[in-house]
A and B are shown apart, each in its own frame.
Chain A
């Protein structure tokens, strides 16, 4: 019972508070006018932001459109380009009269390995790819292939012909 009376009193006090607040409420038009004045520059900045975003989007779209076309141009160019250049490979077959050790020394791959081994150690940077002409995989040859070859190997891999093996004997006795 007592609680109900107190609750009633609380409600009455809230009601009085509300009446007091309503007397001090600024007019709707004034608040709305102030709100519109505040919204003006913000709206402008919003429009500028939207325009900038649109510009960026259009720029990105144009970039995406142009990029594949440039790639396709490159492909077309490559198709019409001359055949792939063959890289010179070391001739490891020892020429007659030249020792094998010398022919090995001349091999550029071996030279590169030697350079690599003798170079002082340092932090390696990711090297930019050299723009060497492409080579067919069927023509590729291992740079260390020469190590498997032995002198006189051709004698084992080829069949001698009879005419080549015959010793030409000149008759000592003249006819």
Chain B
């Protein structure tokens, strides 16, 4: 695959890549942007080579995941502490656009909080399956685990997310509508 083909593929999956990078960087947009830049450099300079064994999207996601892990490790060494998922979320939510009513809804905040409480592997599996529409086999490939492990993470993550959703009151439509009403009432 030459550079122009690689560039076309990167452009095709750019939005999804950003979403995945965001998930890998604890929903920190600055880190996600930086990770994505690094990944593009790696791919276009041939440091990360697509061997054609898997789908391009699966391969690209695994590169993003590894790069995000490196990025996080480097940041941890620099700062000696990790920015928590919720902390980063709260910090960056200040810059949110008030027009994006859906994105800023109370439900989404609660949902993101519920996701943050999941173990990383379970969160990643659910994100790959539900958000990126990957199969469990593809998710396992991205995460570098066996399909059996991926299935376990998926089942446990889903069970835990169900419980968290019930706790936070976002599990059913009636509670959701109540939340949404509360959110819209000034």
Q: Which residues of A contact B (CB under 8 A)?
A: 3, 5-7, 9-11, 13-26, 28, 31-32, 34-36, 38-39, 42-43
Taking each of B45, B100, B103, which has the highest tally of chain A beta carbons within 10 Å of its own beta carbon? B103
- Whether A42 lies near B29 (C-beta < 8 A) is no
Question: Once the chains bind, are A24 and B29 in contact (CB under 8 Å)?
Answer: yes
A127 to chain B, nearest CB (A): 51
Q: A10-B130, A31-B14, A32-B40 are in contact. Are A17 and B111 (CB under 8 A)?
A: yes
On chain B, the residues within 8 Å of A36 by CB distance are: 41
Q: Which residues of A contact B100 (CB under 8 A)?
A: 20, 23
11 contacts between A and B (CB under 8 A): A10-B130, A10-B162, A13-B107, A13-B170, A17-B108, A21-B18, A22-B19, A25-B19, A31-B14, A34-B37, A35-B36
Alpha-carbon separation in the docked complex, A24 to B15 (Å):
9
* B10–A9 touching, CB < 8 Å: no
In the complex with contacts A18-B131, A31-B14, A31-B33, A7-B41 CB distance below 8 A: no
User: Judging by beta carbons under 8 Å apart, are B36 and A31 in contact?
Assistant: yes
Given the interface pairs A5-B172, A14-B130, the reply to whether A43 lies near B45 with Cβ below 8 Å is yes
Which residue of chain A lies nearest to B92 when distances are taken between CB atoms in the complex?
A: A24
A-B contacts, CB under 8 A, total: 93
User: Closest Cβ of chain A: how far from B181's Cβ, in Å?
Assistant: 17
3 closest Cβ pairs, A-B complex: A20-B103, A14-B130, A35-B37
Q: Shortest distance in angstroms between A2's beta carbon and chain B's nearest beta carbon?
A: 9
Q: In whole angstroms, how far apart are the Cα atoms of A11 and B107 in the complex?
A: 13
Task: Give the residue among A16, A24, A43 with the most B Cβ atoms within 10 A.
Answer: A24
Interface majority SS on B: helix, strand, loop or mixed?
A: helix
**B171 CB-CB contact with A under 8 Å:** yes
User: In the assembled complex, which residues on chain B have CB atoms less than 8 Å from the CB atom of A3?
Assistant: 162
Q: Are A39 and B45 in contact (CB under 8 A)?
A: yes
Q: How many angstroms between the C-alpha atoms of A14 and B128 in the bound complex?
A: 10
On chain B, the residues within 8 Å of A31 by CB distance are 14, 33, 36-37, 40
Give the docked Cα–Cα distance between A105 and B122 (Å): 93
A-chain residues with CB within 8 Å of residue B161 when the two chains form the complex:
10
Instruction: Give every chain B residue within 8 A of A26 (Cβ-Cβ).
Output: 18, 33
Nearest CB in chain B: distance from A166 CB, A: 106
Q: Please, how many angstroms separate the alpha-carbon atoms of A38 and B67 in the complex?
A: 15
Q: Among the listed B11, B37, B127, B131, which residue makes an inter-chain contact with A38, where contact means beta carbons less than 8 Å apart?
A: B37
Are A9 and B171 neighbours in the complex by a CB distance under 8 Å?
A: yes
The digit string for B158-181, where 1 denotes a CB below 8 A from any CB of A, is 100110011000111100100000
CB-defined contacts of B37 to chain A, threshold 8 Å: 31, 34-35, 38
CB distance from B71 to the nearest CB of A (A): 13
- Flag if B162 contacts A6 (CB, 8 Å): yes
A9-B165, A10-B161 provided; 13 other pairs, C-beta below 8 A? A5-B172, A6-B172, A10-B158, A16-B102, A18-B19, A20-B103, A25-B14, A25-B18, A34-B33, A34-B37, A35-B44, A38-B37, A38-B41
A48 to chain B, nearest CB (A): 15
A6, chain B: closest CB distance, angstroms: 5
**Assembled-state Cα–Cα distance A18/B111 (Å):** 12
Complex contacts, B162 vs chain A, CB 8 Å: 3, 6-7, 10
Which A residue's beta carbon lies closest to that of B36? A31
